[in-house]
Every structure is written in structure tokens, then in C-alpha cells.
Amino acid sequence: MAELPHFSNPEDLRAEVWRLINLREGGKQPRPRDRPLSRDQRLIVHAKTDGRCHVCGEVVDPLKFEADHVKNHTSGGASTAENYLPACKTCNGYRWHYLPQELQWILKLGIWAKTQVAKGTPVGHEIAKGFVGHERRRENRRRNPRSEIGEPKSVEE
């Protein structure tokens, strides 16, 4: 894959991000969902990566991992063992069906943002504040919200 372009104008970067989003959205193909993988198929998929998430490398349970399409469903990818790789819940939830160039931008922007947060720069503080608020709202939509770090855990009797 070619190197990402260099932008000197923030609006040009924004336009490129929207161009990629529109390109991806325009390529979606509606299809009925296929049946879930059988236990044997899940074990075959799990073995492809020696029981690890294909994105982050975390060990995943052979019967509880999320099956991630190699060619995504909306682009015509089949729901067969050959078209799946094992993924942990976090990676599968965030990888979606991004185009390769979109994933490169996500990584590049994400690493830059993480560095700003770690350094405690003014923009890093704003990113952290916005992200924590976003995550709090997401967590509150969960059926069983998790405890925040530093928050006392409830003891169930």
C-alpha cells in the first residue's frame, strides 16, 4: 500500500477523511445474514492464529471469540470459516469494515492523539476530556456497566 498523503491544510485532511468514508459507504452491498458458525467451524477459525486475536494478539477463548470477516459482509464477504479470523471483542468492535487507507489514518491519528494525552499538552487534555465523556456515555448504555478505574467495586452477596 502506498504511503499516506501529506497535508499542510487541516481542511484538506478533513476532506480526505470524508472522501474515504463516502467511498466505503458507497461500496456496501445489502445481503441477508448467514447462519452462525458451528462449534467445529469455530475451532477451525480459532486454530488459524494459534488461538490469538488476529488484530492485537491477545489470547481468545476457542468458543467465545468474535469471528471477524476477512472480506466484510457488506462488501460481499461470505460467512464461512474460510473468510473468518478470530478477534477479541474490542478489536472486532472497532475494526468494522474500514478501508485499508482509513485504518492507516486511524492508526496515525490515534498514535498522535495518544502521545498528546500522554504528554499532557493542551490539545491532549481536550482529547482526554472528550474521550472520557464519550466512553462514559457508551458505558452507560451497556446492560451491565463496568466500574470505572478507581471507583469502588460493589460486592454482591
Residue 34 counted as domain residue: no
The per-type count for the chain, helices as H runs and strands as E runs, is 5, 2
pLDDT at residue number 157: 38
Same domain, 54 and 72: yes
Residue 90 counted as domain residue: yes
pLDDT at residue number 155: 47
Determine the 3-state secondary structure of 109 from DSSP. helix
| pTM tops 0.75 | no
- Name the percent of the chain lying above pLDDT 90: 52
Which pLDDT band, with edges at 50, 70 and 90, does 34 fall under? low
Residue 136 counted as domain residue: yes
Q: 115: domain range? A: 99-141
Residue 148 counted as domain residue: no
Residue 119 counted as domain residue: yes
Same domain, 104 and 91: no
Which pLDDT band, with edges at 50, 70 and 90, does 134 fall under? very high
pLDDT at residue number 50: 96
Same domain, 49 and 84: yes
Same domain, 74 and 107: no
Determine the 3-state secondary structure of 36 from DSSP. coil
Structurally, how many domains does the chain consist of?
A: 2
Torsion of CA 108, 93, 12, 25, to 10 degrees: 140
Same domain, 47 and 88: yes
CA angle 89–92–95, rounded 5-degree value: 145
Same domain, 88 and 71: yes
**Domain harbouring 74, CATH code:** 1.10.30.50
Residue 118 counted as domain residue: yes
pLDDT in tens, 86-106: 999 988 888 777 888 998 999
57 to 48, 75, 85, 115: CA distances (angstroms) = 12, 25, 12, 22
pLDDT in tens, 105-132: 999 999 999 999 999 999 999 999 999 9
Domain end position, chosen among 95, 114, 132: 95
Residues in the chain: 157
Can you tell me the mean pLDDT for 58-70? 92
